[in-house]
Structure 1
């Protein structure tokens, strides 16, 4: 009998104490501990990753795009939009700001991919253009330094720090090199792809007859970015039902059917039904005319399909925003943008008035009427301009406006159409005041033709540019797959998933726990995405030109 058999026999006879299995760890407990340990290590790893990449907007191949790169460009566009009365930091323009940020990121990603491709394939940049751009950058920096400090103090500062102006220029060349090279490497990569473009006469003719702009209105059944598959399916079914009801109603009402009225009412009813949730379910919008490239791709492809006609109701079309039912209101063909519209050139005497002040307006109208009578009776119009006009811009040019379109000055344009050269009209009420005009020149509208060499060449150039944009977009998508692009942070993706999927349950649990324990937590136990980590001044990755040497630094 073997040793183990003897032990089992003695244990059965009670001569040896049995093994106490209660002291062992159950297998399921071991597995649970292992799972918890792996989960904890994963969270720790992702949390560390999130901290390390807290200033990373995107990883593109071997390059990194920082949030500060995007912010520096966003600051520029914010100032630009402010000139048009739009503050991108105002919540009402949040979607516009998001679109600008996305556009900046897309541009930086595209540049990075093309630069990496060009370097990897040893493409040569245009050296003459490089030298020209470098000289312009250096001159700009030096001019700014002189402007800020004065010429002699700036030269003294440069000599003290670099020994000479030439040494300072050499320093700038070294520092600026990557900034000057990048756009040229990008262009070199694109030029290689553009070689395949061949434009024939038939291509130009087809382009000439293609749709340039579409006017449309639509009803959007909205779907949030984090919607579940069921929510998407329900939204699609709702859009399909509405589309069918639109066609049915159109069939009944025929020519009297009004898409806008019908869909506005639908949207209003749907949103009322969901009023308690605070969510907007449907939205009607009149979009006006738009070109290719202004709308998301599925929407654009539907509207610009060659089979689509004015009056068609299309859909539902799925995009990232939800499901669209589209009504085509109008089309403009490419050849129309080469037409020469009617223009007029007039001399102007303007009398301004204070808006809302009837006496001021009456006086301006009376003055304009007096000048109209006197100039028609023989007074020199130029003399009238110099003596009486309150428009300083045209006054400096003897009252001449220069050629303008109907859209520029509709009231003056309409009055000028009824005049012969030298004829006088007024008083004319405009947004600026009351005017008297004398017609100098009238140009009739001219329909464009490919028979005109200049027009043909312009159309060919525009078609070439269009094809270049298409090639760039396609090539960029290819490079994304080749080099890899990551614009998401795994930690933020995880925390967003937890918040979206389990946020309500976690909040409910916390509320229950507070009731049981009588405690009030300072924050919900939901993982932070790390976006509130205090930022530190960026030490690199900024594509802004170098500042000039200045005193005190």
Structure 2
């Protein structure tokens, strides 16, 4: 709840205590020309100009080259003024509810801000640069904390998100959860940088072809990369880790993604020079979800005991084929730990299960029931309940993130509704 409260304070357009010091705007005396008056409290033109400039600088950092032009400046100014009005409304409401911020919290926050500066002098210089005294800063911190406490205690209710809501978000926003195919590869590079002569190119090509011949004949590719490669990955024996399309030079990428694990490319030329590539691993092209029923077989079982176990799993399989609910059968008969979950193993990809089980499971279509599968654990039957391409992250993997996102969206709406109520009851004059 504390995390949500802090994040929605930001959304509620509060000057965040943890923001850079330059973002803590100085509030000037009310004698200056007012940009707005909120229940008798003045928001000055100078304060508005300061916050508008801060917003422009923030936009420039987030989107370089997309600073608002003159035509859009009135709208930027209007947006900033609305945020300042809303902050003032929230602060006034916190005071009407007699919210008191403990001095110890303010002191700790002030100390935390000071620690970001190498020296007291640099801290004081930063304050002077934005025409703010430490008393101004202390008051700003206190205001921010009062608003945060208001939101936590009076605005946000205990927010819950149902499984149906999070599942609907997942289904309706499939593109958000796509992940690209990935491979892991090593490479060896012989560089060609700057202006190289034809003779130098020929020499580099001859060298990489000699290295490739060694690799194809069975010499260890990693050792060759460590000995010959002129790329920074040489210290990792040429290992580039996992990467997806779009992360490498196009000729390199095209060659790498055509390779099967263990195979070595022809010589590939890029702007960096000549490469040879060896793919180590390729992410599974498919992910499935399955249930299973296991009748265990121990190492010391006699032939008769194994025969009995086989007969039991065959009998359970027959019940499943005749239409009895597989999950109920797993809950009643399975001897594996997944029995408590009605046999559900969740989503998994190739390489996560023992080979005989994996081969049988990935050969099934949704709803199909396998033949009896024997592994070192015993006898299994399997039912596949879902299939997804590897390019899609499973719902279970991202469920917690979706729930947190939906909670924050609900909290945003609660805050906005609260602010609208305050607005409707306030005396606001704008210039």
Q: What is residue 183 of structure 1 aligned with on the other side?
A: 144
Report SS of the residue matched to 1:375.
Answer: helix
Aligned residue among 203, 206, 214 for 2:168: 206
In structure 1, C-alpha distance between the alignment counterparts of 2:425 and 2:195, rounded to whole Å: 64
CA contact (8 A) 1:88 1:96 kept: no
Q: What is residue 298 of structure 2 aligned with on the other side?
A: none
- 5 Å-filtered alignment, 1:362-377, equals 366=205, 371-377=211-217
Q: What is residue 338 of structure 1 aligned with on the other side?
A: 177
Report SS of the residue matched to 2:159.
Answer: coil
Shift of 1:125: 5.3
1:424 aligns with 2:264: yes
Q: What is residue 277 of structure 2 aligned with on the other side?
A: 437
Report SS of the residue matched to 2:185.
Answer: strand
In structure 1, C-alpha distance between the alignment counterparts of 2:72 and 2:231, rounded to whole Å: 36
In structure 2, C-alpha distance between the alignment counterparts of 1:95 and 1:425, rounded to whole Å: 55
1:88 aligns with 2:67: yes
More helix by share: 1
Q: What is residue 479 of structure 1 aligned with on the other side?
A: 422
In structure 1, C-alpha distance between the alignment counterparts of 2:74 and 2:214, rounded to whole Å: 57
Q: What is residue 98 of structure 2 aligned with on the other side?
A: 122
Report SS of the residue matched to 1:475.
Answer: helix
Q: TM-score, normalised by structure 1?
A: 0.42
Shift of 1:52: 4.5
Deviations 1:224-244 (A, max 9, x none): xxxxxxxxxxxxxxxxxxxxx
In structure 2, C-alpha distance between the alignment counterparts of 1:103 and 1:363, rounded to whole Å: 62
1:140 aligns with 2:116: yes
1:468 aligns with 2:411: yes
Q: What is residue 48 of structure 2 aligned with on the other side?
A: 66
Q: What is residue 156 of structure 2 aligned with on the other side?
A: 194
Shift of 1:476: 3.2
In structure 2, C-alpha distance between the alignment counterparts of 1:110 and 1:139, rounded to whole Å: 30
Q: How many residues align?
A: 283
Shift of 1:467: 1.7
CA contact (8 A) 1:57 1:67 kept: no
CA contact (8 A) 2:114 2:120 kept: no
RMSD: 4.4
Q: TM-score, normalised by structure 2?
A: 0.51
Query: CA 1:175 to 1:439, structure 2 compared with 1: closer, same or farther past 3 Å?
Result: same
In structure 1, C-alpha distance between the alignment counterparts of 2:48 and 2:199, rounded to whole Å: 57
CA contact (8 A) 1:110 1:476 kept: yes
Report SS of the residue matched to 1:404.
Answer: strand
CA contact (8 A) 2:166 2:402 kept: yes
Q: What is residue 245 of structure 2 aligned with on the other side?
A: 406
Report SS of the residue matched to 1:419.
Answer: coil
Aligned residue among 78, 95, 101 for 2:60: 78
CA contact (8 A) 2:48 2:80 kept: no
Query: CA 1:144 to 1:199, structure 2 compared with 1: closer, same or farther past 3 Å?
Result: same
Report SS of the residue matched to 1:401.
Answer: strand
Query: CA 1:81 to 1:354, structure 2 compared with 1: closer, same or farther past 3 Å?
Result: farther
- 5 Å-filtered alignment, 1:53-452, equals 53=33, 58-61=36-39, 62-64=41-43, 65-79=47-61, 81-82=63-64, 86=65, 88=67, 104-123=80-99, 130=106, 132-141=108-117, 143-145=118-120, 174-191=135-152, 192-195=154-157, 197-209=159-171, 333-351=172-190, 353=192, 366=205, 371-392=211-232, 394-409=233-248, 411=250, 412-429=252-269, 434-444=274-284, 445=390, 447-450=392-395, 452=396
Report SS of the residue matched to 2:267.
Answer: strand
Shift of 1:195: 0.4
In structure 2, C-alpha distance between the alignment counterparts of 1:358 and 1:119, rounded to whole Å: 77
Report SS of the residue matched to 2:113.
Answer: helix
* Gap regions ≥5 residues in structure 1: 1-50, 155-171, 210-332, 490-553
